[in-house]
Amino acid sequence: MQGHHAVYIANQREAISFLQDIACDPGSYPYMAPKAVHRCIKLKDINSVAANIIKQEMLARGGEAAIARAAINRQSHTDVLLMGTLRQYGLLIDKLKKQPLGLKGIAAELEAIIANLDGGSRMMELANGREIEIGARTLIMGILNITPDSFSDGGKHMELDLALAKAAEMMEQGADIIDIGGASSRPNSLMVDEEQELQRVLPVVKGLFHQGIIISVDTCRARVAQAALDHGAHIINDIGALKMDGAMLPLLSSYGAPVILMHNRLQLNQGQAYEDLIAEIVDEIRESADSLRDSGFDPGKIMIDPGIGFGKSVNQNLLIIKQLTAFKGLGYPVVIGLSRKSFIGQILKLKVEERLEGSLGLMAASIMKGADIMRVHDVKESKRIAQIVDQVVR
């Protein structure tokens, strides 16, 4: 028995590890490692002339590029599916940088996507003097809803002592971040007024500030975000991705506080239908992130959440998890919140209190696909799953 076998190589670090195992000359690593990693990248709505150039240049380097049949005769626009190794992409990018027809810009985007997919860890500076390491392991964000009507834990933590006790329990179980919400975002819920949200959130922020835990506040309102930051919060989790309150962008730029930009058509676009789910979510998240960057905001403080749930169907939610690579390619840490959500209940035919196993299964899949932060109700179980899966993927 020879022991011949297939291997899976996710990135250049893993490729170098295999090269080391077989005692390759270290001088060969920069040449061989990029040939071991294969990527597929989809370009949207490319001029057919440019698409044909991309196709021919990729073919010339041993890769592949699929375009619409009509585009072969240079008609209209087409999407392009690129298929190749990192080495082939590098050669393609070098060539496209010298071409007209907007190909220089496409080369820059390809270069950024490929770099963003190669992973690694870094420190993120938070508000109020804290920092956190992103990428070294999966971070667990414990959900603390101070609401009477949240779909899973509504009404359980309305009293301050109960809320602080729940936060202490999640900290003991291994939460890295506590995410405090004072306004339910479940479908068909009524938005509480701003004063009520402040009255719910601020006492908990104040109570947790000296406990050593990193505090995130789940709000789409600039006034609530400002008050939370003034009283010790470290992160703002905006389910409106800056689009539900025009004052949020200048506030975040002024405070320099890290923000999670969540995709949300349910509240913003009355559940507008999707033609190309992943591409449209990517574009809408990028739009919010770019508006922050254009204001001078540090891009290293932006996190993104593709918004599982929020008007999306079962199959759409599953597709988001399957295609998390698309969001990793934007270069921002990816937050995933799927804990106990209704689509899990639809799949398993289970009530909200019975959705733990389904949540954990999809959490494991999300981490395998590149999620950096998991927003969860069940901290103890989620922490254990993350620790196990991290041993495989990080």
pLDDT tens by residue, 77-89:
999 999 999 999 9
246 burial level (CB within 10 Å; 0-12, 13-18, 19+) = exposed
| Dist CA 124 CA 337 (whole Å) | 20
Using alpha carbons only, what angle is made at residue 120 by residues 292 and 240, rounded to the nearest 5 degrees? 30
Domain with CATH 3.30.1370 in the chain: 37-116
* pLDDT at residue 83 in the model: 98
pLDDT, tens only, 121-166: 999 999 999 999 999 999 999 999 998 755 455 555 668 989 999 9
Q: In this predicted structure, what is the pLDDT of residue 352?
A: 92
Q: Is 201 helix (H, G, I), strand (E, B) or coil?
A: helix
**Region 91-119 average pLDDT:** 95
Question: So what CATH class is 37-116?
Answer: alpha beta
Q: Which CATH class is domain 122-393?
A: alpha beta
Per-residue tokens: 155: 């009404």
Catalytic residue among 340, 341, 369, 383: 341
Percentage with pLDDT > 90 across the chain: 85
- Tell me how far apart the alpha carbons of residues 22 and 326 are, in angstroms, rounded to a whole number: 33
Predicted confidence at residue 294, as pLDDT, reads 94
Instruction: Please say whether the beta carbons of 43 and 79 come within 8 A.
Output: yes
If you average pLDDT over every residue of the chain, what do you get?
93
Q: List Cβ neighbours of 75 (8 Å cut-off, separation of 6 or more).
A: 48
312 is catalytic: no
Q: At 269, is the pLDDT very low, low, confident or very high (cuts 50, 70, 90)?
A: low
- Tens digit of each residue's pLDDT (9 = 90 or more) over 159-215: 898 999 999 999 999 999 999 999 877 666 667 899 999 999 999 999 999 899 999
* Assigned token pair, 267: 């509240």
Q: What is the mean pLDDT of residues 290-301?
A: 95
Find how far residue 309's CA is from the centre of its chain. 14
pLDDT surpassing 90 at residue 96: yes
Tell me the three state secondary structure of residue 38. strand
Q: Is 380 exposed, middle or buried (0-12, 13-18, 19+ CB in 10 A)?
A: middle
What average pLDDT does range 355-360 have in this prediction?
97
Average pLDDT of span 280-298: 95
Nearest residue to 391 (alpha-carbon basis) of 31, 136, 155: 136
Q: Is the pLDDT of residue 266 over 80?
A: no
Residue 380 among the catalytic residues? no
Q: How far is the C-alpha of 216 from the C-alpha of 140, rounded, in Å?
A: 12
Catalytic residue among 55, 301, 312, 375: 375
Domain with CATH 3.20.20.20 in the chain: 122-393
Between 253 and 304, where is the model more confident?
304
| Res 157: pLDDT | 60
SS3 of residue 294 by DSSP: helix
